[in-house]
Chain A
Amino acid sequence: MPLTRTAPPLPGASDEYLWTLNFGPQHPATHTTLRLVLKLDGERVVEAIPDIGYLHSGFEKLGEHLDYNQYVTITDRMNYISPMANNVAWHNAVEKLCGIEITPRCKYLRIIVAELARISDHLLCTGAMGLDVGAFTFFLYAFYQRERLYDIFESLCGARFTNSYTRVGGVAQDVTPVTLEKIRAFLKDFPQTLNDMERLLNRNRIFTDRTKGVGVLSKEEAINTSSTGPIARASGVPRDLRKDEPYLAYADFDFNVVCMKTGDCYARYLVRMEEMKESLKIVQQAIENLPSGPVRVGEEERAALPDKGKVYQTIEGLITHFELVMANRGVEVPNEEAYAAIEAPNGELGFYLVGDGSDVAYRARCRPPSFIHFAIFPRLIVGHTLSDIVAVLGSLNIIAAELDR
C-alpha cells in the first residue's frame, strides 16, 4: 500500500540515515487496530503517517437502513468504552430532528447514565495510559471501579457492555431502587479510590517524567485542529457543551469546567481525573433531585414505544406500540436536516441527521471525536522519542471502533 505523502518532506530530513518503522496494526499499545508508519532518526520521530481504516464497518451506511430505534445498537459499538454516552447522543439528535421534548425524569436519567459513562471512559483512558507507561497497579484500581459501573448498568438495563439504553422519546426501563442504591454506594466509595489513584500517579517521578512536556498542543492549535473535550480543555480552551449549550437538563446542575493551560499529556491526564470528580457531583445532584413521573413521552404524541404493562393491559398502549413498529406509521419525521451534539467523554459527539419522512434516516453522519483527535497525532509526536508514542496515544484516548466506524 503506498503511504507516500504528496506533501513536501520536512526540512532538514535527509532520507539516507532515517529508517522506517511500522507500528501496528497489531500492537499492545494501540489497544485496537491502527497503524503508524514512523520515520525515525535514531530514536526520535521525524515523521508519523497514520494509516487507519482497519476497523471500518460502514456504520454510517447502516444508519441509512436501520430505523431510529434500531440504530442505537450500532452506536453502542462506536465508542465501546462509554456506549451509554453514544446512546444519549444518538437519540438526542433524533429527538431534535423530530422535535420531541422528553420528560424531566428521562432527562435526569440520561444525565446520570451519561456521567457514569464519562467516569467509566476516563477510568479506562487514564488507566490504560498508566499501564502503557508502566503503572500497572493504577490500571487495576481503575478497572475494579469500571467493573462496578458495569454492574450498575447491568441492573439498570440488563446489558453490561452494549447497553442500548435509550429509545426515541425515552429510555428502555425506568430506574429501580436497587440500581439507585448501587449508584449511591458507588458515589460513596469511588472518591476514596480516586484519591488512591491520584496519590499513585500525580507525583510519581516516572509518570511525570514521561508525560510532562510531551505532546504539547497549544491553545491556537487545539482550536485550529477542531479538537474538543478534555483534549481542548487541557490546552486552555474553556469549551464544554454542558455549560455553553446546555442540552438535556444540564442547566440545573452545579459543576465546574476543568481546564489546564500546558496542553501536554500530563495536563490531559489531570483534566480527566478532575472531570471524574465533577461527574460525581452531577450524578449526586441528579439522584437527590430525580423528578418523578413517566420516563417516556405519552401515547398521544406517538413517539415513544409505550412500556410493556400498557401494551398488554390497555388498548391505547397496544395500538400505539403496533403503529410505531409498522413500516410507515412510525414517528413523524420532517423532510429536514439537524445537527445535535453532546459533550461525550472524548469530546463533541454529534450526529448530523437528514430525515426524509420515513422511519429510517436518509443520512446519519456521526462526528467522531477520536477521528478528529487522531488527525492531530502526527503533529504532537514529531520530535519526541519512540517510547513517547504510547503516552501520547494513551492521552488522546483513540478508540479505533469510533475512529473507523
Chain B
Amino acid sequence: MPAAPETVNAIKGRFAEAVESEFRGQTRVIAPRESLFDMLQFLRGTRGFDLLVDITCVDYLNYRDAIERFGLVYLLANVETSERITIRCFLDEPDLTVPSVTSLWAGADWMEREVWDMFGIHFEGHPDLRRILLPDEYTAFPLRKDYPLQGRGERHNFPVLRRDQS
C-alpha cells in the first residue's frame, strides 16, 4: 500500500532536501545521510510507522547511472493503517557510517548486523555489532559486487581445529 499523501507532505515540509518518487504503488523517499536518523525518528514518532519491516543494502558498483556506491533501504510499515514507505540513503566509500536505529526499533538489531556482515556498513551506536552469519575470522564482505560468487578460497583454507587444541 502506498504512503498517504499527508505522510509525504509531512516529510517534505520537515525535510526540504528529501526526494520522493513512486514505482508500482510504492512510495520511496531518498534521505541524505545527515537527516536519515531524524527522518526515521520523525516517521516512527509522529507518523506512526511502528513496524520496521526490513533493512537491507544494495551495492551499485556496476549499476548504470549510479553515482554513490551503496544504497541503504529501510522498509517501514504502519500496523494500524497498513501504509508502507521505503526510505533510501546513499553512501560512498570511504565513509560507510550511518547512525543505528536500534534505539527506535528493537528489531533493527539483527538486520543491521546482517548488513554489516554482508556489506561492511558501520552502524554507529549499535549495541553489539558483530558478524552474524559468517565466522568472526572472515575478512571480506561477500554481498559486495567485487566479491566473486565462488569466494576467495575461504572454504579450502578454513583453519581446522583439532581435538587437542580445543
Contact = CB atoms under 8 A, between A and B. Distances in A.
B135 A65 contact: no
B26 A339 contact: yes
Contacts of A223: 50-51, 79
Contacts of B86: 339
Contact of A5 (B24, B107, B128, B136): B128
B67 to A, nearest CB: 14
A350 B26 CA distance: 14
27 contacts: A1-B135, A6-B128, A7-B127, A61-B143, A61-B149, A64-B149, A226-B105, A244-B1, A244-B82, A245-B1, A245-B82, A336-B23, A337-B28, A338-B24, A339-B75, A339-B86, A350-B75, A352-B54, A352-B56, A354-B58, A356-B63, A362-B63, A363-B58, A365-B54, A367-B56, A371-B114, A404-B133
B105 A53 contact: no
A228 B75 CA distance: 14
A335 interface: yes
Interface in A257-296: none
A349 to B, nearest CB: 11
Contacts, number: 115
Interface size class of B (residues with CB under 8 A): 35 or more
Contacts of B109: 375
Interface residues of A, number: 50
Contacts of A405: 133
Contacts of A191: none
A225 B106 contact: yes
Q: Return the 3 tightest CB-CB contacts between A and B, nearest first.
A: A226-B107, A53-B133, A375-B110
A348 interface: yes
A52 interface: yes
Contacts of B28: 337
Contact of B107 (A1, A56, A61, A225): A225
Interface string A3-29: 001110000000000000000000000
Contact of B149 (A65, A245, A354): A65
Contacts of B143: 60-61
A99 interface: yes
Nearest to B129: A6
Given A61-B149, A223-B50, A339-B75, A1 B58 contact: no
B142 to A, nearest CB: 6
A341 B82 CA distance: 13
A224 B50 contact: yes
Interface in B126-143: 127-136, 142-143
Nearest to B131: A53
Interface in B120-166: 127-136, 142-143, 147, 149
Contacts of A6: 127-130
Interface in B12-62: 23-24, 26, 28, 50-54, 56, 58-59
A77 interface: no
A7 B130 CA distance: 11
B142 A58 contact: yes
B152 to A, nearest CB: 13
A239 B50 contact: no
Contact of B106 (A97, A224, A244, A356): A224
Interface string A173-195: 00000000000000000000000
B73 interface: yes
B55 to A, nearest CB: 10
Contacts of A237: 79
Given A339-B86, A365-B56, A1 B136 contact: yes
Given A367-B75, A372-B107, A375-B110, 15 more contacts: A6-B129, A7-B127, A58-B142, A61-B143, A65-B149, A97-B24, A228-B51, A244-B82, A245-B84, A338-B26, A341-B53, A350-B75, A363-B58, A371-B114, A405-B133
A350 B53 contact: yes
A153 to B, nearest CB: 29
Nearest to A403: B133
A139 B22 CA distance: 48
